[in-house]
Structure 1
Amino acid sequence: MRRFLPVVLAVCVALSTASAQGKTPEAKAHFRAGVQAFNEGELDKARRYLESAAEQGLSSRSLSYNLGVVYYKLGLYEKAEKTFRQLIPTRQKALAYYNIGLTALARENQPEAAAAFREVLASDPDDNLISLATRQLERLDLKAARPVAGKRWAGLISVGGGYEDNVALFPDTAPEQLDSGFIEALAAASYYLYGDAMAGLRSDLKLFSRQYPSEHDFDLQVIQAETRWLQQTAPGQISVGLGGDYIWRDRRTRELRARLTAGITTRSCPGPGSRCVIKAEAAEIFPEPGFEAYQGQMYRLDAQYRIRPGNWSGKLRYRAEYNDRDNLDTENEFFSVSPERHGLDASVGYGLTNKLTVEAGAGFRFSYYRTPHQLRIPEGTLTIRREDKRYTLSVGTTYRFSARTSLSVDLDRTDNDSNIDRYRYDRHTATASVAVRF
């Protein structure tokens, strides 16, 4: 059991004090002193400071986690369990149950521990907690209890709508822009064909549709399917998979894609509640007649760093893309559709309450087209290598009615600054959606 305890303790103890919402500066100071005392191995001192912070009205998930861990380390298992149970109504429900399971094991109450670990699996946890809880159940020789409802599969349905003020991405110099409302839907499902998150074969299916009732030329539908082998290793969870995409535009088939993917997810990166993800993808594109210029290969690299200190969350993401397409060569002009791209996005979120979260983000993407365009202009032919700089801003909020149902409202702005006038545009989008998880 103690092989897995440090994984959870690292999350619990290192949580930032930034999320603590106290009634007095003294309470916050006692909270910080309690965390410092714990890090120095002074458990009794840590307990006094953290209990003092709670008595003075300080209330946060960080305080509950840290105080629960201190109680556990001191052998006060009933107090530890009671403290961890305060977190069940929050987004850390799965982690709370895992800690409760550990306290039950420490009290040699195996049936209660097994019940807690099964609650972890039923609480939509991340893959790391699935692995830990599954292994604890295996150690308790309760494999027969594992295949209960919701353990081998997960699903999501989201339905929403919104408004775009530049659907066609007309340039800034255009006399007018085409705006429209839209309706969109997303359905996703994952199922373990064999094994589980420790070592298993998982199938993923996603369907996305966006319809513009007044502008069907811009309707978009996408089906994505992938089968991946997942393996838990010492560095983290690795995956290798094969997949395919089927894309429609204006209710007509646009292209097919065959994808080879690989990735690794690890929690051994610095920071409280952190996670690092690296993914690589290689795709072969098979366009339908009329879109032959897009035939070729696309390669992507995606690196993410996520952190969750208390009520805060943050994400930093870098994406690189390389395209080798046939390009579009007409009788009078030549257009490159083979860009190299580099993008950086950052976002930060804050849980105002256990149900309401706000988030803001910003991003930048640079696109460089290796083969120069050849464009007809009044003076003759212009040969120019296209370069785009795209800037994005976003704000949003999510309200969780329950652990499975939520409402999101998002506002986004995109500005594309290109050295070719016809590709310079800006767009504003507002979206509201309801999501249900299974």
Structure 2
Amino acid sequence: MDGRGAAQGTARMERAAANRPYLSLVDGVRGIAALSVLFYHYVHFFMSGSDRRKVPGYLDLFPAREVLWPAYEWGYFAVQVFWLISGFVFAHVYYGHRVGTRSFVVNRIARLYPLHLLTLLVVTVLQFVALHRLGYTPIYGKFDWQHFVAQLFMASDWIRTGLSFNGPVWSVSVEIAIYAVFWLTRGFARRFGAFFTIGMALGFAWADHKWGAHSGVFSCGSYFFAGCTLSVLREGRMGQGWFLPVLGTLLFAAGLAVTLQWGVWGWRAFGLTGMFGALFLLLAQWQNRAPAWLDRGCEWLGENTYGVYLWHFPIQLAMMLVLMPAIKTQEIAQNGWFLVLFFVLAVAMARISYVWFERPMRDFLRERLGGSRHAARDAAKGG
């Protein structure tokens, strides 16, 4: 059996041992959300000078803006979709199943840290090159030891101090803090079910309203535990028969109504949770009936999600350093072919990274730190 076959076999064993089906269709949504971040961060090519200001009228300069404007302007909300999916998947895998703390911690480290460390070091080198060539670091300016150490420990946005180094990892850093809360409170979730997870989601939403300006952890917690609630309802007794379709319909209708009534505020408050929550319930129920090509396509998207998210900024920075200062990036980035090139490089790098670095490092660390018996219990490839 070649390396790819062995890895696929390992994935099958993980799912069988955990007795939890892999929700590839939901993971595919995560992959699409990651791609939308590329559109949202395309604005980085239109930030110039040491003050890193966006050029005037930059939105009108984006290629194919007439068609792609929702992704250019709303791609930021992919982060909230990530958090919602993580809660949905984590509750699906871990609530009601005996998994040791060591297994949980090892799997989180093995899944997230190797690529984070690699891209952090790559960005650091590129920023030293930028300082030498340009005299400043493009896009993110906080290039110092304090921010590097915070990134090194994946704690960069526990307290908001401004984006730095590989800036997009901020959303992963706050999710790690919520992983700890999730794990420490799993006993309450088993005992009180959706009442507990709804209370956690509302509590974090209230904390985000009060202190969200100081930390991204609270916002993450509200979406994460909302995702947990959806999973608990789906897999509980109320998830049988007519209740689930009715719940999904009500969630979608309420999310749409709130968004139409209050716009972006309504979308943040409940629109995203309601509409995407309904989608996740539908996809999870349809999982076993999905055609093989769709199942594999969504799995492929899910596998590349983390790589797309962490590699796209180093790729942007490298492209800028190749062009600057001789060529202004805001001029060349107006071309459709440049957008396509950026996408192709990000997706190709994500795939290479997953096959040749992320997956081998994940399996190596699981074996060395936790043993195969621990790794076999984790069925959530994207979690």
Mark yes or no: TM-score above 0.5.
Answer: no
* RCO comparison, higher one (Cα < 8 Å, 6+): 2
TM-score by length of 2: 0.26
Which of the two has greater strand per residue? 1
TM-score by length of 1: 0.24
